[in-house]
Amino acid sequence: MEITQETSVGHIATTIPASIDVFERFGVDFCCGGDKPLSEALRGTGVSVGDLLAEIEAAVAALASEQRLHEDWSERDPASLADHVERAHHIYLREKLPYVGEKMATVLRVHGELHPELFELGRLLEHLRKEIDAHLETEETVVFPALREIVETGASGTKGAALEDSLQMLETEHDEVGRLLKAMRGITSNYHPPAGACATYSVLFRELQALEADIHRHVHLENNIMFAAARKLIRP
Ligand SMILES: [Fe+2]
Ligand SMILES: [Fe+2]
C-alpha cells in the first residue's frame, strides 16, 4: 500500500498493524483521530511525514525479520539460504545505510557541538558502512556463487579448500562488524538519546538499533547455519 501525507492514520493502522507501535511511540492519535490525514495527525508532534514513514518501514522490517527467525533454516540447503540472505538482508543494508548516514550527518550538524561523542559515533558508522559494502560485494560476487556451485556439483579438494578460506575470512569480517556495533552501542548508552533530544536524534538512534538487530540476525544465519551447512558439504 502506498502511504502519502493524505492517507488517514486509521487506515494506516488498519492495513499495517506494525505502524501502531510507531504511532504510540510518537503520541499520534490513530484511534479517535483515525480519520485525520497523516500530515494533520503529526502536527505538534515534532515528527515529519518522512521520518514517520521510515519508522513504520523499520517496524515492518523488524517484524518480518522476527517472523523469518522462526523459520527452520537448518533444514534448507546453504544455496537457498544465500538467496534468502541476499534478498532479505543485503537489500535492506543497501537501502538503510545511506539513509542512516544522512540522519547521522544532520544530527552531527545540529548537535555535534553540545554532544562531541556524536563525532566518534559518526566515524564508527562510516567505518561500518565501508566494511559492510566491501563484505556484501565479496559475498555476492565470490563466496555465494562458489557455494552455489558446490551445492550443485559437489566439493572437489581445491574448491572446498578455497571455500573454507573464504568462510574464515567472512567470519573475521563479521567479528569486526560486531565490534563496531558494540562500540556504537556503548557510545550511545544503549541507544538512549539524551534528555531534550530532538525527533531526528531519536529517529537516528532507533534506526541504528534496528540496523544492529537486522545485522545480528543476518550474521546468525550466515555463521551458524549457512557456513555450518557449507562445511558439511566440504567435509562430509
Ligand atoms: Fe551477508
Ligand atoms: Fe556476511
118 Cβ contact partners less than 8 Å away, ≥ 6 residues apart: 107, 108, 111, 112
pLDDT 10s digits, 23-44: 878 878 777 777 899 999 999 8
Residue list, CB under 5 A from ion ligand 1: 139
Q: Which ligand is nearest to the CA of 223?
A: 2
Q: Which ligand is nearest to the CA of 85?
A: 1
- Output the pLDDT for position 69: 63
- Output the pLDDT for position 35: 84
Distance 103 CA to ligand 2 centre (A): 25
Q: Which of 27-31, 66-70, 152-156, 178-182 has the highest mean predicted lDDT (pLDDT)?
A: 178-182
Amino acid at 2: E
Enter the pTM of the model. 0.74
Distance 35 CA to ligand 1 centre (A): 42
- Output the pLDDT for position 21: 81
Distance 143 CA to ligand 1 centre (A): 10
Distance 97 CA to ligand 2 centre (A): 15
The more confident residue out of 26 and 138 is 138
DSSP 29: -
